């Protein structure tokens, strides 16, 4: 007679978890309190460094705090939330924004958002410094729970830095454990393909040294894959 199979002998499976409000279709939309789903993706220009601003606009669109059409025309708005966002984020449009600067700007706007961050910048800004591995672990935990999380990475090739919006995870599961090996992101520097909830993927390093160093491989349909390290993660939750 054959030996009975234990639960640990069951076949492994792939799983995917992402922000519950996302609706994949010809255009990626998000269901808010508005009756009609709204587009969430905001595209970055070719010469600006406003990736952090575009990711913030995606979060505000997802939570129904700002109309995408108004946010897309914030530079022409004289009143309202879109105008206020530009007034605090405009100075970083051509230079880029760090995680502490982003948190300060959002706190100044007094939005109903709870921000929790991990970052690897120096300690002079008053925010405790984390390792890249700490940032990675924090990002995985937040995204596994379905929380929108802005992610900043630095290329290991040329130290180029860029913000993307984390919207979910993918991984490998067995009956007793689920292990995340991909982070699903919306990249403002590229378009979103139809019927997709992400246009970029951060693939976790397979070696122990790579994981301890917080290294990932960034992949996307519009870019060549490149090794990166996560330097900041900002979890944005809507306050009750």
Which residue in 237, 147, 150, 230 sits closest to 185, CA to CA?
Answer: 150
Summarize pLDDT for 95-110 with one digit per residue, the tens. Answer: 999 999 999 999 999 9
Count of C-beta atoms within a 10 Å radius of residue 136: 27
SS3 79: coil
Cβ contact 51:95 at 8 Å? no
Residue 156 lies in a domain: yes
Q: Residue 1 falls within a domain, yes or no? A: no
Counted residue by residue, the chain has a size of: 240
Look at the pTM and tell me if it is higher than 0.75.
yes
Residue whose C-alpha is closest to residue 211's, from 233, 179, 184, 234: 179
Q: What is the pLDDT of residues 126-172, one digit of tens each?
A: 556 789 999 999 999 999 999 999 999 999 999 899 999 999 999 99
Distance, CA of 97 to CA of 85 (rounded, Å): 13
107 assigned to some structural domain? yes
Average pLDDT over residues 115-123: 82
Q: What is the pLDDT of residues 14-30, one digit of tens each?
A: 999 999 999 999 999 99
- Does residue 3 fall inside a structural domain? no
Residue 214 lies in a domain: yes
**131 φ, ψ (degrees, to nearest 5):** -85, 165
Count of the separate structural domains present in the chain: 1
Is residue 177 within a helix (H) or strand (E), and if so which, with residue range?
A: strand 177-186
Structural domain of residue 167, as residue ranges?
Answer: 13-238
Tell me, yes or no, whether 6 lies in a domain. Answer: no
Whether 7 maps to a domain, the answer reads no
DSSP string, 181-194: EEEEEE-TTSPPPT
CATH label of the domain that carries residue 102: 3.90.70
Q: For residue 8, is it within any domain?
A: no
């Amino acid at each position: 007679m054959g030996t009975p199979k234990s639960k640990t002998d069951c076949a492994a499976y792939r799983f995917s978890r992402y922000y519950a409000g996302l609706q994949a279709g010809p255009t990626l939309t998000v269901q808010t309190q508005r009756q009609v789903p709204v587009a969430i993706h905001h595209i970055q220009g070719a010469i600006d460094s406003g990736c952090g601003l575009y990711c913030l606009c995606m979060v505000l669109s997802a939570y129904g705090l700002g109309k995408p059409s108004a946010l897309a025309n914030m530079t022409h708005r004289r009143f309202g939330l879109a105008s206020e966002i530009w007034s605090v984020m405009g100075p970083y449009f051509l230079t880029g924004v760090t995680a502490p600067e982003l948190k300060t700007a959002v706190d100044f706007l007094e939005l109903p958002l709870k921000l929790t961050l991990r970052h690897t910048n120096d300690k002079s800004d008053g925010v405790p410094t984390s390792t890249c591995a700490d940032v990675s672990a924090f990002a995985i935990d937040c995204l596994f729970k379905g929380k929108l999380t802005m992610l900043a990475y630095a290329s290991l090739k040329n130290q180029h830095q860029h913000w993307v919006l984390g919207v979910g995870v993918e991984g490998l599961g067995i009956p007793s454990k689920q292990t995340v090996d991909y982070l699903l992101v919306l990249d403002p520097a590229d378009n979103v393909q139809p019927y997709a909830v992400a246009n970029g993927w951060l693939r976790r390093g397979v070696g122990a040294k790579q994981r301890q160093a917080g290294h990932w491989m960034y992949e996307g349909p519009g870019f060549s894959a490149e090794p990166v390290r996560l330097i900041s993660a900002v979890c944005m939750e809507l306050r009750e």
